[in-house]
Amino acid sequence: MQVEILQLTPLATAGEAALHGKYGVCRWYELPDRERWLDEHNASIRAVITGGHLGISNEMLHRLPALGIVAISGVGYDKIDLEAARERGIRVTNTPDVLTDDAADLAVGLMISTMRRIAAADHFVRDGSWTSGPIALATKVSGRRYGIVGFGRIGRAVAHRLEGFGGSIAYTDFRQSQVSYRFYPTAVDLARASDVLFLHVSGGPATHNLIGREVLDALGPTGFLINVARGSIVDEPELIAALQEGRLGGAGLDVYADEPRVPASLAALPNVTLTPHIGSATRDTREAMARLVLANLDAFYAGQPLPTAVV
């Protein structure tokens, strides 16, 4: 079967079997000599599969003259130049909705883990420290002022979960929504009125370093920042400085400025919980994402409307 699909990231097990059973696919990440392979096969590639965290470079786009679709296994499409895709008539799809619950669950989990210092408590038991006395007290999670920056699918799912914590819920976004939660026009205004600030905006130029020193200082020394969206949204050096200097109470992070590299200064901090971009990383969700990637590819090849088209 001629190779027409270039796969930049693996899919979940069943998705891999379905994809490779139906199409001629090359796993880019397994190639010993990628440049040579691309020189020999670039003209036959009609589709690329990639991840939300990975996207596709303009350089790669330009090397694939027959490319017709980029199918993203993920909700974020900030790692692809949509205008360049449009100019080439390249369709772009993503996998929204199926990963909303996982991302929202992780955000709330990072809040609880960071405020109650669960990772440190686990280590405290495992290394035998408990035999020497009780662990230090942590921070109460329930009944707090929760602020959500970005009120899309995942932000709304987080708000729904927070309703069970008995505090207040507020948000900021480009526009006010018809919901009962209080709206603030800016992230700074929201941070001033929050104990826990959740980030759920898309990545890209419009939100680059949206959360800088002004927002972090408005959140303050008893405030907590939770980010499962994109590392680019936060001025990472400013975040590290605020945590080191006690101007911010703590942070729960799943995304970083330069993944998979995380600054040693951030990793050394005791008042953070760090996870390796696992927002959608459960078996059920990744299989659902794979099914949606396949559905988009099948529709593309059949000349049918694409189920979840971005472009």
74 binds ligand 8YV (CB under 6 A): yes
- Tell me the residue nearest to ligand 8YV as measured from the CB: 52
9 binds ligand 8YV (CB under 6 A): yes
236 is catalytic: no
Q: Looking at 49-57, 126-134, 135-143, 295-303, which segment touches ligand 8YV (CB under 6 A)?
A: 49-57
* Given 279, 288, 293, 294, the residue binding ligand 8YV (CB under 6 A): 279
Residues 149-168 that bind ligand 8YV (CB under 6 A): none
Q: Which residue has the tokens 């350089």?
A: 59
For residue 274, the minimal CB distance to ligand 8YV (Å) is 15
* Given 19, 49, 56, 75, the residue binding ligand 8YV (CB under 6 A): 75
For residue 11, the minimal CB distance to ligand 8YV (Å) is 9
CA-to-CA separations, 260 to 27, 108, 263, 264, in angstroms, rounded:
20, 22, 10, 12
Q: Looking at 45-53, 177-185, 245-253, 262-270, which segment touches ligand 8YV (CB under 6 A)?
A: 45-53
Residue number, 11 or 242, with CB nearest to ligand 8YV: 11
Number of residues that bind ligand 8YV (CB under 6 A): 12
86 is catalytic: no
Q: Looking at 26-34, 67-75, 172-180, 181-189, which segment touches ligand 8YV (CB under 6 A)?
A: 67-75
230 is catalytic: yes
Residue number, 52 or 147, with CB nearest to ligand 8YV: 52
The answer to whether the CB of 205 falls within 8 A of the CB of 177 is: no
The answer to whether the CB of 187 falls within 8 A of the CB of 165 is: no
Distance CA 67, CA 84 (A): 12
Residue number, 28 or 165, with CB nearest to ligand 8YV: 28
Residue number, 114 or 285, with CB nearest to ligand 8YV: 285
Residues 87-116 that bind ligand 8YV (CB under 6 A): 99
* Given 4, 46, 73, 197, the residue binding ligand 8YV (CB under 6 A): 73
Q: Looking at 154-162, 174-182, 245-253, 277-285, which segment touches ligand 8YV (CB under 6 A)?
A: 277-285
51 binds ligand 8YV (CB under 6 A): yes
Residue number, 73 or 172, with CB nearest to ligand 8YV: 73
> What's the chain's Rg over C-alpha atoms?
21
User: Of 53, 91, 277, 286, which one is the catalytic site residue?
Assistant: 277
Cis peptide before 10 (omega within 30 of 0): no
53 binds ligand 8YV (CB under 6 A): yes
Residue number, 15 or 52, with CB nearest to ligand 8YV: 52
| Secondary structure of the chain in HEC code, one letter for each residue | CCCCEEECCCCCHHHHHHHHHHCCEEEHHHCCCHHHHHHHHHHHCCEEEEECCCCCCHHHHHCCCCCCEEEEECCCCCCCCHHHHHHHCCEEECCCCCCHHHHHHHHHHHHHHHHCCHHHHHHHHHCCHHHHCCCCCCCCCCCCEEEEECCCHHHHHHHHHHHHHCCEEEEECCCCCCCCCEECCCHHHHHHCCCEEEECCCCCHHHCCCECHHHHHHHCCCCEEEECCCHHHECHHHHHHHHHCCCCCEEEECCCCECCECCHHHHCCCCEEECCCCCCCCHHHHHHHHHHHHHHHHHHHHCCCCCCECC
> Which residues are annotated as catalytic?
230, 259, 277
